[in-house]
Structures are given as structure tokens and as C-alpha cells.
Chains A and B, each alone.
Chain A
Amino acid sequence: MTGAGVAGAAVQVAAVGAGAPLLVGWMRQVRALLEGRIGSGVLQPYRDLRKLARKQSIVPEGSTVVFATAPAFIAATMLVVAATVPTVTVASPMDGVGDLFVVVGLLLIATVALILAALDTGTPFGGMGASRETTIAALVEPAILVAVFALSIRANSSNLAAIVTATAHRPGDVLTPAGALAFAALVVVIAAETGRLPIDNPATHLELTMVHEAMVLEYSGHRLALVEWGASMRLAVLVGLLANLYLPIGIAGAHAGAAGLVVGVGAIAAKTALLAGALAAGEVFVAKVRMFRVPELLAGSFLLGLLAVTAAYFIAPRGA
């Protein structure tokens, strides 16, 4: 554990926590411009959060402590994930504490917390969203773990810093068939994990289609603000992780100074903005698929991951 690592982890958490709403605003703005609308500006999510944080939060009668504390738990989990995932530095002291499986597990436990909060309200909408989210989460799990497996073969470790460092040393290694297949699998998985098109539509309030929105219908005020903030951090962390897994340029090392950390923040901001912009642009061209087509999509992602693993085994670069 180095001082630079501790500082880097703090910067990482701050960058993800502060920058995540900006990322959401950026993606909305890209979509708006491509669809010929003016859009509400990239800062709109901050205004929304500020408004919500000042409003009264209403707790439904009959709900339990699960409903009341789930938002804070979700946000806290996302902060831990933000400290673990190498977005700014590879020397985070949290790296030895949690590997990629732990990150996936923490994302899943945050999902479960929201599902339970939705069930806790006892409304049909809550149950509907919870049921759908559970189905998706259960099927995402194999896809994401096999993709993780494919990525960990190269570094022979599932610890994120090891994977990112291995890529930083040999950037060409990701341009293998295995790397490309794993990338495709991960994009689908990230769309499912963050509730984006084509799996869930973040902008919908139509009961036939909503998943995430149906679960948070009973939330209001500062609790809703925490849920939304947590969701945006989930998006930011996953997009940032994908960027650094494939293009770890500029990431701060174990002995980076303040300048290195600033470069790291700038690099990850630029990479995330590009990748998120591309994802948002892609979303303009797809429609949400039916709920019962989602398993096919995720099964496809799982197969891509499996192919990536097999490719890594059989078409491995010699001498690796």
C-alpha cells in the first residue's frame, strides 16, 4: 500500500461520485442531439439531484427498514466499488481486498437491495419491477462471470489491477479474437447491468416496459436522489472499467505523484466520455427488446464469453 495508492483511491471515489451525474447528462445530451432535440444540458442530473435532496422524503406506511435504508446501502456499495475498480490508479489499497468477482458480487448485492426495497412496498409496480430485475440479474451473472474469466486468463489473475497492468504492459494483447469476443459480451452485460437499451429503457414510465423505474416508483426526496446517484455511479464505474480494461492509457501507477493522478483523472474522463457517447449513439438506433427476448440476448453474450475463453485457451499467444 503506497501513499499514492491511498490518494489515488480517494481521488477515484471522488471522481466517480462527482462525475457520474455528468456522465448521465452527457449520454442524455448525445441522444438528444442525435434525435434532433436541444436537450436539457449536461448539468441537468445535478439540478435534479439537488432538487430531490431538498424535498421531503415520504416513506410508505407498512414498509420496513429495508425500504428506508436500501438507498444508502446502494450508494455505499457503489462507493466501495468505485474505490476498488482501477479507474484512476492501479494502486488502490482496495485492490487486494476485492477482485473482479467481488465487484460483480457487490453490484449484484446492490441490485438485490433495490429489489427487496421494491417488494417491501407491496405495490404491484414494485413487484413487477422486482420480478423482472431478478430475472435479468440471474441471467446476467453467468454472462458476466465468463467474460471475467476470459479477461483474467491473460493476467492469470482476477484482480483488476493485475489485469489492467498486464494490458498496460502489452497493449496489443487485447486485440486478439478472445479480446474482441469478450468486449462484445461485456457491452451487452453492461447494458443489462445499468438498465440501458435494449434491455431496459431509462426514460420510460410505461408499465409494460419499465424495470428499474417500476422499482423506484415509491421513492421520493433524498432517498430517490441516493438511488439515482447510485445508478449513475454504477454506469460510470462499469463504463470506466471497460475503458481501462482495453485501453489503460494514462492510468496512474503505484508511485505516481499528484500530477500523475491529475493525468489519470483526465484520461479516464476522456475515455469514459468517448465510450459513453458511443454507447448513447448506439442506443439511438436500437429499440428495447421484449422482456422475454432478453434471455436470448444474454445467452448470446454468455456464448460470446464462452467463445472468448475457448479462444484464449486455444489461440493463446505463444509463450504467454
Chain B
Amino acid sequence: MTGVAHGDVARPVGPAPPADGDSPATGAPDGRAERAPGAVAIAGVTTTALGAAGAATGVVAVVRGIGPIHVGSLGPLAGVTLAAGATGGAFMVVVGLVAAAAGVYGIGYGRHGRSSPLQLAAVPAFVATMLLVPLAGSVSTFLATWELMAVASLVAILADHDRPAVRDAARWYAVMTHLGFAAVLVGLVVLAASGRADGLVALTSRAASASSASRDAVFVLTFVGFGAKAGLVPLHVWLPRAHPEAPSPVSALMSAAMVAMGVYGIVRIDIEVLGPGPRWWAIVLVATGAASALYGVLQSSVSTDLKRLLAYSTTENMGLVTLALGAAMLLAGYGERSLATIALTAALLHVVAHAAFKSLAFMAAGSVLFATGLRDLDLLGGLARRMPATTGAFSVAALGAAGLPLGAGFVSEWLLVQSLIHSRPSSGTLLALVMPVAVGVVALTTGLGVAAMTKAFGIGFLARPRSTAAFDARESPAAMLAPMAVVAAACTVLAVAPGVLAPGLRRVLLDTGSSFGAPPHLGLLLRLPGIAGSISPGLIAVAVAVAAAALALVAAVARAGRSRRPADRRAALWAGGGGPLTARMQYTATSFAEPLQRVFDDVLRPDVDVEVSHVEESRYLVDRVRYRSRIVDVVEARCYRPVLGAVATWASWVRRAHNGSVNRYLAFGALAVIVVIAVAR
């Protein structure tokens, strides 16, 4: 190195960004005509308008309910029934607000895009179908909107279909979402058949009288389908592929809004319609939620791809929500009504908070992608000085995702933990066994979540740039920054004044069933019904601000009184006196997470290769060391690959029968006719 001491002045000699570019938005001309900005703007404005309209409809649904409106002419056989209560309305508001932000964001993001008109139309269509799912008032309408949502999102993912990774992700998503749909389809058909009704409201009163076997079947099938949509382990494998590979506004929509539809399904069908069930239902929810939370956060803390890290964090958060729902069911089953209500409130609040901070995180990650073409944290760094607004937005999102106080995710996690620790010793052995383990799971999830988000923010945005692309980054356009600022403000409100949601939450809880009692008091002080305990996120923020201001005042007074201390000075890094440092000598995301990877290597099973080559003269002198580490999804490698292999083997075996000989096909035909005649006679 020459005498340049600090990499921020020198352009780093680090690796160049991958030539193919991760982003559709970097503006790299690749031979395709750029889409006229007008079409992108129309798509964006339509998305925002749809979102705003959906949110407004949702508010109406929460306040006084909608429908049922029956349009017989729209669909074959059953027609279309639209109806929404407070629960559906609340989810519509969440989806609508995320869509409104993502629509404006998409205008800035997609200006240099290369999507076809079909793909541009896919985003508003995706939003519209997502808004229709909570509006569905009957089983048939629900199934139709559910499938439309899956198809529209699939087209939206495929915006960048000339990259193999995108096609691969879309294939996984298509298969998984349709397996999930099949499960939901069969489950809901069984439900409709056993309740002898199509409308969800009618089924709510009749489902309780169905036989326990059919209720169990409905529960298992719908939970599998909704769990696949929410990205729960082991059905999450599509999520860390599809969410990162989609264009960033679509990532935000999928990760913040669509997974919430999975939760909506569980709340609406498994809790509201099916009503109280046997204890093992709750245990299934708690166990699946705990596994998802831990697995998601663990993968997230060792991911080096920024959007993949966020996608795994979605699995983690949906796991926490599912755990909270399971805890609510379990506690309700034991007659702990107020605790059950706290757990349910925690779940709903977490869905809202997650929608806010995760859409913000994906928008900020998209902004980084837009500016640098990079998602790899190992190549990022130094963005705080180049993209201050994006950095600020990501810090708010990361604080929320980490579940720390002053962040959007803290209140819901606090409520969840409170619901878990307050069951009375006398209430039963099962509770006494489940609850401590659940607390441990939530705590470890929080701890590792902090590690993941610290890594994403500290390595990706602070320090010095690790590649030329990061070095040359420029702040994104205002069309992308404005929605980020709005969502960041929403995150802050959720963090310090969750009470704004209290009226809506009360109505949803009233809607959800008689096994839940009075909701927690979400004012300036958060008070829990029947439990001595309160916190005030707003006052904590005030207290920290006051203490910091007091310290600053003391420091200023001390300086004014006696100016013996020289003023602060900016100077080169000391770095232990080690001499000029290059940007390559910094810790990267991989090295930062290496201790965690070692601690959890039994679960993560990393594939690590260290290759040391020596100089020719002596075996004791090292020429170069190559370190390669790859972490594959263990669930995918252990559960899916064998099944896929078996299917492929079976298919190749079946293929032998199809050798192209017309005679053989005629023989098959004849055989089939004989079988049919024999059976039918």
C-alpha cells in the first residue's frame, strides 16, 4: 500500500461487483429497451391508490364490519361473497398501508426497470388479490382469492426472469405455494362439507358441532397451507429464495404483507371459525412457531446476503407470531383468559410491527441494491456517509427487527414474554413445562436477532466500503426515500406510542372469540389486565433523551467554564499503531458471524474449506490461504432433496413405459378399456 492511511479517501482495491448485476434497477444497459417511465408511474400510482383504498375499506370493516355482499353472477356455482369483520379489516389495513408505500417506492425503483407490461400490471394485481383475501366471506371466495394471490405474486417475482436464480426461486415458490393451496383447499372443503355451509360466518357457529376427526383434519390441513404461506419451518424453503430474488418493492410486499395473510388464515380459520380445540393444536402451533423462530434467526444471523438475511428474519418473526397464537390457544384452554388475550394481542401487534419494519428494511435494502447493485454484505460498507437517508431508514428498521427497546418490535415481544411468564404454578404440568422453554426460545431468538441486525447494519452501512461499487454509491431518488421516511415514522410511532392501535385491537379481540377477555391497556403506560406490571415505551425514550441531553449540557458547561481541554480533532485511525489499514483488513459479514457459526455448527452444518498453498522453497512459508464457507439450508438438504431425488427416480422409471412406440400406446389404451369395462360392469 502507498501512504494512504484511511480507505475512505482512497478507492478500495476490493473486488468489483459481479458483472451480471443483482438488480434490475442499476440502470446497466443490457440491450433491452428501457421501459417508458410513464408505464412504471401508472403501475406505481395504481398500486398506491389500491393500497389506500384497501386500507380505508379495512378501517370501515374494523369500525362497523362489511357485508356480506353476495354477487352470484361473478363466479360459477357459488358466486362471490364479500364480507369482513374486524379481523379481516385489520389485515386489510396492514396490507393496504404497505402497498401504498411500496407503490410510490416502485416508481423510483423501477424507473430504469425492464419489466414487461404484464409484469408491471402484476404488482397492482398482487395487491388487489391480497386485499381481497380478508374480504372473502365464503369458503369458495376465499379459495379463489387465495389462488389468485399466489398466481399474481408468482408473476411479480418473475420480473427479472432472465436470471437463473430468479427462475429457480419462482419454481420453488410455485410448487410450495400450490402444495399449500392443495392443503387449504382440501381442508376448507372438509370444513364446508362438515358444516354444510359456504359462508364463513355460518360455519363459525356450526364448526363446533362437527365431528372431532373432521375438525382435526381441517386444522392440520389448513395449518399446513397457511404455514407454508407464512414461511414456517419446514415449509419455509421457498421464502429465502423468492423474497430476495423478487424486485425490492415486491420483496417488501411479500415479506411484510403476504406472510401476514398466512397468519390471517390461522387466526380466521383455525381460531375464529374452528373455535377452541384440543390441547395438541396449541402445542403444534407453539412447537412450529418455536422451531421457525430459532431456525429463521439462526440462518439470518449467518447470512451474508442482505435480502436473504431479511427473508430469514421474516421466518423468525412469523415463528414468534405463531408461537404467540399457540400460547393464546393453550392459555385459553386452561382458562387463563387474560393471559390468553395478552398473547393474542402480542401476535396481532407483532404482525403490524413486522409489516412496518420489514417493509422498511426491504425498501432500504432495495435502495442499496439500486445504488450499488450489491446484496452481498461482504462487499458493502461505508454507506452511512454516502447514503445517509437510506442508512437512517435501515437503522430504524433494524432496531425494530432486533426487538430492542425504542424499536418497533419491542412492545409485542414484551407482551409475548409477559403472557408466557405469568401462568400460575397451579395451572398444570403442561404449562409449567412449555412456558419456560418458550421463554428461552423467545429470548434466544431476540439475542440472535440482535446479532443479525447488528451485523446487517454495522457491516453493511458503517465502516469503510469493501468494493468499488459501494465506494461509488449515491443516495437514491426522492421517490424511493419519501415512502421510506413515512414508514420509518410509522415504525417510530409503533415503538413509542403503540396505544394508537388500541381501539382497533379491541374490536379485533372482541371478534376473535369468547375465550378471550379484556385487552391490555395500551396507553402511555402499558398495563396488563390482572397482573401487576407495566412499562411505558414512550417514557423510556423520553428518559434516555433527557439523560443524553443532561450529559451534553454538563459537558457544555464544563467546557465553557474551563477551556483547558483542546478541541476534538479528526485524525487517521490509530489501529493499535499497526500502520495504514486497507478496507480489506476490516471484518466482513462472514468473519463477524463466524463465532456464531461455530457455536451452532451442529445445526447449521456449514461447508467450510480451508486451502493453504505454500511457497515452493519452503513448506513453512504460506503463499496464500483460501477460505470458502457455504451454508445451505439444512431443512432443504435433509428433507427436500431426498424427496425430490425419489420423485426423479420414480419419474425416470415411469418414463420407460413411454418409449414412443405407437403399438405400445395402443396396447395401453386397450388395457385401460378392458379395466374400465371390468370395473364398470
A residues contacting B by CB (< 8 A) are: 53-62, 64-66, 72-73, 75-77, 79-80, 83, 94, 96-99, 101-102, 105-106, 108-109, 112, 115-116, 119-128, 130-132, 134-135, 137-142, 144-146, 149, 152-153, 155-159, 162, 207, 217-218, 221-222, 226, 291-292, 295, 302, 306, 309-310, 312-314, 316, 320
Asked whether A127 and B595 contact (CB < 8 A) given A142-B440, A142-B444, A316-B425, the answer is no
Told that A126-B587, A130-B592, A226-B551 touch, could you supply 20 new A-B pairs with CB distance under 8 A? A56-B567, A58-B569, A62-B9, A62-B382, A75-B551, A98-B536, A108-B450, A112-B454, A116-B457, A119-B454, A119-B462, A119-B587, A120-B463, A127-B586, A139-B447, A141-B450, A146-B440, A146-B443, A313-B425, A313-B436
B504 at the interface (CB under 8 A from A): no
Asked whether A101 and B417 contact (CB < 8 A) given A121-B573, A313-B425, the answer is yes
A62 & B533 in contact (Cβ 8 Å cutoff): no
Contact of A54 among B450, B458, B565, B595 (CB under 8 A): B565
B446 & A141 in contact (Cβ 8 Å cutoff): yes
Contact of A99 among B533, B575, B593 (CB under 8 A): B533
Contact of B534 among A83, A99, A105, A139 (CB under 8 A): A99
A76 & B540 in contact (Cβ 8 Å cutoff): no
Q: How far is the CA of A57 from the CA of B544 in the complex (A)?
A: 24
Q: How far is the CB of B108 from chain A (nearest CB, A)?
A: 25
Q: How far is the CA of A55 from the CA of B568 in the complex (A)?
A: 9
Q: How far is the CA of A123 from the CA of B462 in the complex (A)?
A: 12
B552 at the interface (CB under 8 A from A): yes
Q: How far is the CB of B498 from chain A (nearest CB, A)?
A: 14
Q: Which of B413-441 contact A (CB under 8 A)?
A: 414, 417-418, 421-422, 424-425, 432-433, 436-437, 439-440
Smallest CB gap from B527: residue in A: A96
Q: How far is the CA of A314 from the CA of B462 in the complex (A)?
A: 49
Q: How far is the CB of B578 from chain A (nearest CB, A)?
A: 8
Contact of B6 among A62, A221, A302 (CB under 8 A): A62
Q: Which of B625-657 contact A (CB under 8 A)?
A: none
B534 & A96 in contact (Cβ 8 Å cutoff): yes
B591 & A120 in contact (Cβ 8 Å cutoff): no
| Residues in B neighbouring A130, C-beta threshold 8 A | 454, 458, 587, 592
| Residues in B neighbouring A60, C-beta threshold 8 A | 6, 570-574
Output the residue of A56, A80, A139, A312 with the most chain B CB within 10 A: A80
| Residues in A neighbouring B261, C-beta threshold 8 A | none
Smallest CB gap from B592: residue in A: A131
B29 at the interface (CB under 8 A from A): no
Q: List 29 A-B contacts (CB under 8 A).
A: A53-B558, A56-B565, A58-B570, A59-B568, A97-B535, A97-B536, A98-B536, A112-B454, A115-B458, A119-B459, A120-B463, A123-B586, A125-B576, A127-B586, A127-B591, A131-B592, A134-B450, A134-B451, A134-B454, A135-B596, A138-B301, A138-B448, A141-B443, A156-B531, A162-B532, A222-B555, A292-B598, A306-B440, A314-B432
Asked whether A121 and B564 contact (CB < 8 A) given A131-B595, A142-B444, A157-B532, the answer is no
Asked whether A73 and B548 contact (CB < 8 A) given A124-B586, A141-B450, A146-B436, the answer is yes
| Residues in A neighbouring B569, C-beta threshold 8 A | 56-59
Q: How far is the CA of A79 from the CA of B549 in the complex (A)?
A: 12
A72 & B457 in contact (Cβ 8 Å cutoff): no
Asked whether A58 and B571 contact (CB < 8 A) given A97-B543, A119-B458, the answer is yes
B residues contacting A by CB (< 8 A) are: 6-9, 301, 381-382, 384-385, 402, 404-406, 410, 414, 417-418, 421-422, 424-425, 432-433, 436-437, 439-440, 442-444, 446-448, 450-451, 454-455, 457-459, 462-464, 525, 531-536, 539-540, 543-545, 547-548, 550-552, 555, 558, 564-576, 581, 583, 585-587, 591-596, 598-599
B405 & A131 in contact (Cβ 8 Å cutoff): no
Asked whether A295 and B599 contact (CB < 8 A) given A58-B571, A98-B535, A122-B7, the answer is yes
| Residues in A neighbouring B418, C-beta threshold 8 A | 158
Contact of B421 among A109, A119, A135, A152 (CB under 8 A): A152
Q: How far is the CA of A83 from the CA of B546 in the complex (A)?
A: 12
Q: How far is the CB of B94 from chain A (nearest CB, A)?
A: 25
Q: How far is the CA of A99 from the CA of B540 in the complex (A)?
A: 11
B425 & A312 in contact (Cβ 8 Å cutoff): yes
B405 & A102 in contact (Cβ 8 Å cutoff): yes
Q: How far is the CB of B663 from chain A (nearest CB, A)?
A: 67
Contact of A309 among B436, B455, B539, B594 (CB under 8 A): B436
Smallest CB gap from B532: residue in A: A157
Contact of B414 among A64, A97, A101, A218 (CB under 8 A): A101
A132 & B575 in contact (Cβ 8 Å cutoff): no
B447 & A109 in contact (Cβ 8 Å cutoff): no
Q: How far is the CA of A75 from the CA of B439 in the complex (A)?
A: 29
Output the residue of A73, A135, A306 with the most chain B CB within 10 A: A135
A121 & B436 in contact (Cβ 8 Å cutoff): no
Q: How far is the CB of B430 from chain A (nearest CB, A)?
A: 11
Q: How far is the CA of A158 from the CA of B533 in the complex (A)?
A: 6
Output the residue of A64, A292, A316 with the most chain B CB within 10 A: A64
B586 & A76 in contact (Cβ 8 Å cutoff): no
Smallest CB gap from B457: residue in A: A116
Asked whether A108 and B404 contact (CB < 8 A) given A58-B569, A62-B7, the answer is yes
A124 & B440 in contact (Cβ 8 Å cutoff): no
Q: How far is the CA of A131 from the CA of B457 in the complex (A)?
A: 13
Q: How far is the CA of A57 from the CA of B568 in the complex (A)?
A: 5
Q: How far is the CB of B574 from chain A (nearest CB, A)?
A: 6
B6 & A64 in contact (Cβ 8 Å cutoff): no
B454 & A159 in contact (Cβ 8 Å cutoff): no
Q: How far is the CB of A130 from chain B (nearest CB, A)?
A: 7
Contact of A159 among B6, B417, B450, B532 (CB under 8 A): B532
Q: How far is the CB of A168 from chain B (nearest CB, A)?
A: 15
Q: How far is the CA of A94 from the CA of B540 in the complex (A)?
A: 9
| Residues in B neighbouring A101, C-beta threshold 8 A | 414, 417, 535
| Residues in B neighbouring A302, C-beta threshold 8 A | 440
Smallest CB gap from B524: residue in A: A97
| Residues in A neighbouring B565, C-beta threshold 8 A | 53-56, 221-222
Q: How far is the CB of A65 from chain B (nearest CB, A)?
A: 8
| Residues in A neighbouring B448, C-beta threshold 8 A | 138
Contact of B422 among A72, A126, A156 (CB under 8 A): A156
| Residues in A neighbouring B572, C-beta threshold 8 A | 60-61
| Residues in A neighbouring B599, C-beta threshold 8 A | 135, 139, 292, 295
Output the residue of A97, A122, A291 with the most chain B CB within 10 A: A122
| Residues in B neighbouring A137, C-beta threshold 8 A | 447, 450-451
Smallest CB gap from B432: residue in A: A313
Q: How far is the CA of A142 from the CA of B418 in the complex (A)?
A: 15
Asked whether A99 and B535 contact (CB < 8 A) given A80-B543, A124-B586, the answer is yes
A64 & B462 in contact (Cβ 8 Å cutoff): yes
Smallest CB gap from A303: residue in B: B440
Q: How far is the CB of A311 from chain B (nearest CB, A)?
A: 11
Q: How far is the CA of A119 from the CA of B543 in the complex (A)?
A: 27
| Residues in B neighbouring A145, C-beta threshold 8 A | 417, 439-440, 442-443, 446
Q: How far is the CA of A137 from the CA of B585 in the complex (A)?
A: 24
| Residues in A neighbouring B433, C-beta threshold 8 A | 310
Q: How far is the CA of A226 from the CA of B595 in the complex (A)?
A: 29
Q: How far is the CB of A49 from chain B (nearest CB, A)?
A: 12
